[in-house]
Amino acid sequence: MSTRAVRGATTVKENTRGAILTETGFLLREMMEKNSLKNEDIICILFTATEDLNTAYPAAAARELGIVSAGLLDYPELKVKGGLKMCIRVLMLTEAIVAQSEIKHVYLNGAKILRTDLLRDENRVAVALDGPAGSGKSTIAKLVAKELGFTYIDTGAMYRSVAFYCIDKDIDYNNELQVISRLDNINIAVLSTKMGQRYLLNGDDVTDLIRSPEVSEGASKVATYKAVREKLVALQRECAAKQSVIMDGRDIGTNVLPNAEVKVFMEGQVEERAKRRFEELELKGITTTYEEILEDIKKRDYNDSHREHNPLRKAEDAVLLDTTHMTIEEVKDYIVEEIKKHIKEEE
């Protein structure tokens, strides 16, 4: 056995002794059960309570559970501006057989918000972010994912990978039959790395090769083919089944994840979107002109919203967000708040 640390936190609805002891006791039991711990395994437990909780010492809940030999200590929590209210935090040191990386930390009630990266299984959250090219989806999705510890899935990168394959293998992407006949040879995988998600095409990392205007045009074309969509939508749903995700695309809220907990549809004036995309490509060293990008985006807007299968459309239950006059920070904060609202409602 080795010494391990287990974290936990919970919130209470009222500042009463009963509420504090009940919720703390419940939290401690969950932390022990999830990590298969017995009373005698526990070395010590540190508790903090926010200043709005002053009717009981949370540590008393441990004694009520029969944890008698462990050292227990209560502290006041730091008064950080905007911090979660009526919150009890716990750090338990214990003997355990498993590695620290296998330890399960437990966040209950409103405290789930403190570790959104740990939301799993029944608490998993899916966020669908749809909108036309250049509306800022990917920039925003990356920031939201980073802040909440979600996985960002860029579905456009998957259509781009198919287009890249066609261009690379001299297959005419305008010829549906030719593309479909090669679909079985196209294997796309998403790899989580320290540099974020990487997109593998038949084992090769193509993440940085699929941003050219030529690939953009090809992606918009192959995305009109039913068989291509079916293959990629299956992969996208598989990605969302494992973890909390924020997924961006054109049909996420309407088709890929119709039950997503949070849906946002981002729009913006086409000139503003073209300007953003032009600046983004310039930064990446891809030579093009603003006029070329504007034309490309107008063409893709038309293709994406007029195609037969799963066209670009706002889901009825999606929030509409016009980002033309919003800063990146404002859009990110808005979406993070929408997600937090959802998590609180689930309590």
Is residue 253 within the footprint of ligand DC (CB under 6 A)? no
Is residue 133 within the footprint of ligand DC (CB under 6 A)? yes
How many residues bind ligand DC, per CB under 6 A? 15
Q: Applying CB under 6 A, which of residues 57, 159, 173, 225 lies at the interface with ligand DC?
A: 159
Q: In angstroms, what is the minimal distance from the CB of 233 to ligand DC?
A: 8
Q: In angstroms, what is the minimal distance from the CB of 156 to ligand DC?
A: 2
Torsion of CA 207, 226, 251, 185, to 10 degrees: -20
Is residue 50 within the footprint of ligand DC (CB under 6 A)? no
CA within 13 Å, CB half, 272:
13
Whether residue 173 contacts residue 167, with contact meaning beta carbons closer than 8 Å, is answered with: yes
- How many whole angstroms separate alpha carbon 167 and alpha carbon 306? 24
Q: Report which of 211, 229, 224 is spatially closest to residue 175, judged by C-alpha positions.
A: 224
273-292 burial code (b ≥16 CB/10 A, e <16) = bbbbbbebbeeeeeeeeeee
Q: In angstroms, what is the minimal distance from the CB of 176 to ligand DC?
A: 15
Is residue 219 within the footprint of ligand DC (CB under 6 A)? yes
Q: Applying CB under 6 A, which of residues 250, 263, 276, 332 lies at the interface with ligand DC?
A: 250
Whether residue 169 contacts residue 217, with contact meaning beta carbons closer than 8 Å, is answered with: no
Q: Which is nearer to ligand DC, 41 or 304 (CB)?
A: 304
Q: Which is nearer to ligand DC, 107 or 199 (CB)?
A: 199
Q: In angstroms, what is the minimal distance from the CB of 36 to ligand DC?
A: 42
- How many whole angstroms separate alpha carbon 165 and alpha carbon 172? 10
Q: In angstroms, what is the minimal distance from the CB of 70 to ligand DC?
A: 52
What type of residue is 153? Answer: I
Q: Applying CB under 6 A, which of residues 50, 151, 155, 212 lies at the interface with ligand DC?
A: 155
Task: Count other C-beta atoms under 10 Å from residue 78's C-beta.
Answer: 9
Q: In angstroms, what is the minimal distance from the CB of 262 to ligand DC?
A: 17
Is residue 296 within the footprint of ligand DC (CB under 6 A)? no
Question: Which residues of this protein are in contact with ligand DC, per CB under 6 A?
Answer: 133, 155-156, 159-160, 216, 219-220, 223, 249-252, 300, 304
